[in-house]
Structure 1
């Protein structure tokens, strides 16, 4: 692994044998992962020429890095979630090797460092891979170091050992998260299916009660504070039912076809889900919702006899996000289909009663 580095001048300083021994002991002590991440960056930061060091977990599905721990001698912050190609650590992932880079002229990711600490010294970025048991990169040890390294091989061997131990801990951490996510998903699916069965099994003849029950169930299932059923009234739209005490949205509130933003979307039988209503989504979100601070939305067209008669929607506020978009979409679509079917059945039953009455009481 050390042969992957071309000769250079990096860290000078004392051996970290004692600190490393303590650090390695913590891996087998059953301490929480968060404690191990923080203790490890503190250990690495004891090398005198280290300016900043951090540990990233690599998330290949989303092409992001997640920050696990950070230690810095100067004011330097890294967001909890970072896009892969916005940081030099992506070179470590793509090459599966140690990567080094001179920070002269670097102004993006390292700008807070270059404006303060790095003005007084020449510095380098060094990225060290944390590999899985099959050799793929699952994390990165990132370091900003002074441009000198008298004891390069000694200190890199220590970091190499730390990387191997972090690999075991990170694999365990990922497995625990995967198990937890799987259990949470299974629990949500079980709970949502039970709720859908309850809604579909309702024997109520009051359509308003049925629709309001759907709204109340949806706000609980999806964790979103506002639920709406918008109905088509001629060429305009109206919020027929509102669930959630949100100032500025009320039952009976009408808005034009142009303001509805439903026209381009309601031909699709699938749900429309927008997570983070950023500027790119603004043309698809009603202006009065944006003014209220709606941050995410789920909308489903209610079709009866192949005609869109309304929209079922749930909305998050401020910085709220929809956590499991794909899973929520499937459950939400089943909910929307169930409500549309119930409305259609209700109309058919009502029509049948009218026909029955006309037969018993013929109009003279």
Structure 2
């Protein structure tokens, strides 16, 4: 079949044709997936007039592309994760068809990713869809070719064969990732429920030990290095408990109500999650945390008798992100509700003891 798609004049010679056909026949599912991506782009890039070739997985939930492999004859790079509309490949996704466009040397596409060291005054982008078994685009084969692409129709027939093979491989790759994510989620849920049960069933009158237990558990569960419990002191706030050694954060540290940027007392009992702090969201984060390079945060208002008395928070730094946001948020909210209820019960018990002592020792 491949010999019919690649006659002797298809490439630059018989040897090239045979080598490419052998490459395609050698792909099989027992090889590591990463090797299949790499071999495929290397095969595509051996077609004359192709300057660069890459394979992208399309992630519709985040509107991003994930780079699987790239082969280029010039110093050209694509980030591992790139937004959908940063590449002309988005036209392939939106149209579910082959897409081509001329690329001039000064085009933004070249400038954004390092450009090509080429004597050609212009080149062409060619994108080919990788479709699922129901016809939706799950990936893209992207290519930059010389502006005069010889044997274009026959080349596309070969790319079509490659796309069919990649479709099955990409479906398998996505399914394996989905299974792994499901198993990880199930493990996280099981572990989280066990930890929540342990926290809620702990019998202790030592509120300090209880708070530290919550913070230590949270930093391990969510994989974030800093845990804080801030208390409201009049119109000011104070870090009453700190878990994690982050320079510039310490117990007893106070800051004004205006600087706190916590959830307001009138807000609902839900967590504030910022998974990627940017210039747009930085105004919602306390200035000293921004200066320390906080990258993500989870904060939950601790309410006792319907009044916000404090905030439970966990924070990541540098490029850290919160994994499984929806699930983490639910676990975090259950943790915050449990801590608030424990504090409320602790205060009620303390108040009962005070009333009992007053009855035993009435003032004269």
Q: Which deviates more, 237-246 or 269-278?
A: 269-278
Give the superposition deviation at 1:277: 1.6
- What residue is the counterpart of 1:107 in the other structure? 107
Q: Secondary structure at the match of 1:297?
A: strand
1:16/1:155 contact within 8 Å kept: no
* Counterparts of 2:256 and 2:82, CA distance in 1: 40
**Partner of residue 22, structure 2:** 21
Bigger Cα displacement from structure 2, 279-288 vs 201-210: 279-288
Identify the residue that residue 173 of structure 2 maps to in structure 1: 173
Q: Which digits, 9 at most, give the CA deviation of each residue in 1:199-236, with x for residues without a partner?
A: 00010110000000000000000000000000000110
Correspondence for 2:151: 151
Rounded Cα–Cα distance in structure 1 between residues aligned with 2:349 and 2:187: 36
Q: 1:85 to 1:20 in 2, by over 3 A?
A: same
Given that 2:104 and 2:121 are in contact with CA atoms closer than 8 Å, whether structure 1 keeps it comes out as no
Structure 1 residue matching 2:108: 3-state secondary structure: coil
TM-score by length of 1: 0.93
Instruction: Tell me what 1:87 maps to.
Output: 87
1:155 deviates by 2.0
Please say if residues 12 and 150 of structure 1, whose CA atoms lie closer than 8 Å, have aligned partners that are also in contact: no
Higher mean alpha-carbon deviation, 328-337 vs 101-110, is at 101-110
Q: 1:112 and 1:120, CA in 2 relative to 1: closer, same or farther beyond 3 A? A: farther
Tell me what 1:213 maps to.
213
Q: Is contact 2:294-2:316 (8 Å) kept?
A: yes
- The RMSD of aligned alpha carbons is 1.8
Deviation at 1:33, TM superposition (A): 0.6
Pairwise CA distance, 1:326? 1.3
Question: Bigger shift: 302-311 or 17-26?
Answer: 17-26
Q: CA deviation at 1:150?
A: 2.8
CA gap 1:362/1:132 in 2 versus in 1, 3 angstroms:
same
- Offset, 1:276: 2.0
Q: Which residue of 2 aligns with 1:313?
A: 313
SS at match of 2:67: strand
Specify the SS of the correspondent of 1:200.
helix
Post-superposition offset of 1:167: 0.3
2:124 corresponding residue in structure 1:
124
Q: CA offsets per residue over residues 288-333 of structure 1, 9 Å max, x none?
A: 1111111111111000000000000001111211122111111111
Note closer, same or farther for the CA distance 1:253–1:355 as it changes in structure 2 (3 Å cut). Answer: same
Task: Count the aligned residue pairs.
Answer: 353
Deviations 1:86-123 (A, max 9, x none): 21111111111100001126522222678543452431
Q: Sort the Cα spacing of 1:322 and 1:148 in 2 relative to 1 into closer, same or farther, 3 A.
A: same
> Which has the larger displacement, 286-295 or 192-201?
286-295
- C-alpha distance in 1, partners of 2:115/2:281? 35
Report SS of the residue matched to 2:281. helix
Runs of 5+ consecutive residues of structure 1 not aligned to the other structure = 1-10
Structure 2 CA distance for partners of 1:45 and 1:115, relative to 1, 3 Å = closer
Query: Could you tell me how far 1:26 is from its partner in structure 2?
Result: 2.1
1:252 is paired with a residue whose SS is coil
- The answer on 1:302 being equivalent to 2:302 is yes
The answer (yes or no) to whether the contact 1:304–1:340 under 8 Å persists in 2 is: yes
RCO higher in structure (CA 8 A, sep ≥6):
1
Q: Distance in 1 between matches of 2:32 and 2:331?
A: 34
Is the contact made by 2:77 and 2:114 (CA closer than 8 Å) also made in structure 1?
no
Kept in 1, the 8 Å contact 2:248–2:292? The answer is yes
Partners of 1:180 and 1:211 in 2: CA distance: 33
1:26-77 Cα deviation digits (max 9, x unpaired): 224x011111000100000101211010000011111111000000011111
Aligned counterpart, 1:8 = none
Superposition deviation, residue 184 in structure 1: 0.3
Structure 2 Cα separation of the partners of residues 205 and 275 of structure 1: 35
Show the 5 A alignment for 1:226-241. Answer: 226-241=226-241
- On the 8 A contact 2:75/2:115 being kept in 1, the answer is no
Other structure's SS at 2:280 match: helix
* CA–CA separation in structure 2 for the residues paired with 1:132 and 1:265: 49
Partner of 2:6: none
1:52 matched to which residue of 2?
52
Match in the other structure for 1:333: 333
SS at structure 2 position matched to 1:166: helix
Q: How does 1:210-289 map to 2 (within 5 A)?
A: 210-262=210-262, 264=264, 267-289=267-289
Following the alignment from structure 1 to structure 2, what is the Cα–Cα distance between the partners of residues 265 and 177? 41
Aligned to 1:4: none
